[in-house]
Chain A
Amino acid sequence: MFGRDCRESTLNTLVLAEGGEFHKPSIVEFFPSALLFEGTPFQIDRIMLIRFLMTIVLVAFFLVAMRRPKLVPRGVQNLGEYALDFVRIHIAEDILGKEQGRRFLPLLTTFFFMIWAMNLSGVIPLLNMPSSAKIGVPLVLALLSYVVFNYAGIKAQGLGPYLKSNLFPPGVPKPLYVLVTPIEFLSTFLLRPLTLTVRLMANMLAGHMTLVLFFSAAWFLMFQAGNLLLAPVGAVSLAMGFAFTLFELLVQFLQAYIFTLLTAIYIDGALHAEH
């Protein structure tokens, strides 16, 4: 069972070597077979293992980096502080200001680094699967973001004023509320968590598909098609795969940044009635 899983997942190259026919990237890759506890709410498959691994690596990195923080940071502490400062300054304090930024810093830091780490597994050799491409991670984070910004808004303004400022934005002619209010309701309370979820999940899924397509095409064209004329095309495909791997690195960072930034913006919007 484990063997089959491995074959399926490591860019599907081994499967290609055995089968000898072109392996199309498929959505099935995101549903590997269970390894443990199948059918229970604690089922563990390959993607879950990747999540565990990334979680452990992330936590271990920051615990090591900040285990004995010095006034003058050295080595890994420097790197850790640089990363933490990015979220603290460029997301939390930029959007929320010093005071509120400090309040929501744990949430935003967790979001950013968890998403980035889960995304990064998409380009790490042997893992080759962005564990945030499975909808669980984006959905849970989006729901937490939803709960937090609504909680922050209700706590800052009170339930009534919070709903009023969101559903009946000031400065709109009264009859237009017939149109505006449902739209506002839809966009703020329904679409926000949905767009957060789907944006992240779809980006990672599509990125993975692209990489699989280029690398399996390269393998097929260079070694399996049996046509020497196709080999250079395979080489081009390999180069494209490499280029898209770099691009994917950028996208992985950007998606983590966007998700966290939007959460901060939603919280900021909820804290202030006028926006």
Chain B
Amino acid sequence: MTPGLILAAEEGAANPLIPAVYDIVWSAVCLAIIGFVFWKKVLPLFQKVLAERTEKIEGGIAKAEAAQAEANQKLEEYKEQLAEARAEAARIRDDARAEGLAIVEEMREQAQAESARIVAQGQHQLDAQRAQIVAELRADLGRVAIDLASKVVGESLEDDTRRRGTVDRFLDELDAVSAPAGK
């Protein structure tokens, strides 16, 4: 290359606004390389990692929400179970109280019946004893009265016929007197 040629080339190309062909060519080559790498390599990797990151964050949020929902559900269940248990306990208590009352009532009735029975039995015994005593007294009274009357009259009321009639009449009178008191 001679100095003359260099000079000519410099003078000819000295307008910075006029592009040389090789300038355009190599600019386009650089652009193509850079563009290709960004378009096909770098940006897809970048978008992928961004998408993964977003997914990760959103997935984490979704998981937390699910856990929260589950916890709430569990809490509701526990509350429900607790309420059920309380109701059950109250019911059992009421039942027991009612049963207790029934038992007491029954016992009272039995006791009353028993006492009534004892009282009635006593009454019967008394009646029987009274009847026996009345019968004994009646026999004794007849005899004592005749003895007494024999002594008073001075004569023996040996005559059976008269004696029977007198005693019977006396006893009838006695019965009439004692009947209202006996009954």
Contacts and interface: CB of A to CB of B under 8 A. Distances in A.
A55 interface: yes
A44 interface: yes
Contacts of B18: 135
Interface string A112-145: 0110001000000000000001111101110010
Interface in B38-92: 38-39, 41-43, 45-49, 52-53, 56
Interface string B92-131: 0000000000000000000000000000000000000000
User: What's the interface size class on B, roughly?
Assistant: 35 or more
A135 to B, nearest CB: 5
B27 A139 contact: yes
Nearest to B13: A31
B35 A51 contact: no
How would you classify the secondary structure of chain A's contact residues: helix, strand, loop or mixed? helix
B176 interface: no
Contact of A106 (B23, B38, B53): B38
Most buried by A among B30, B43, B46: B30
Contact of A113 (B19, B34, B47, B52): B34
A66 B45 contact: yes
B16 A30 contact: yes
B17 interface: yes
Contacts of A63: 37, 41-42
A90 to B, nearest CB: 15
B6 interface: yes
Contacts of B41: 62-63, 66
A135 B14 CA distance: 12
Nearest to B14: A27
B34 A59 contact: yes
25 contacts: A27-B14, A28-B10, A31-B9, A43-B22, A44-B26, A48-B23, A51-B30, A58-B34, A59-B34, A62-B38, A63-B37, A63-B42, A66-B45, A66-B46, A106-B39, A110-B34, A110-B39, A114-B34, A135-B16, A135-B17, A135-B19, A135-B23, A136-B20, A140-B28, A141-B31
Closest 5 CB pairs of A and B: A136-B23, A136-B27, A43-B22, A106-B39, A69-B49
Given A109-B42, A134-B23, A144-B31, 11 more contacts: A31-B14, A38-B1, A54-B30, A55-B30, A55-B34, A59-B37, A69-B45, A135-B18, A137-B27, A139-B27, A205-B16
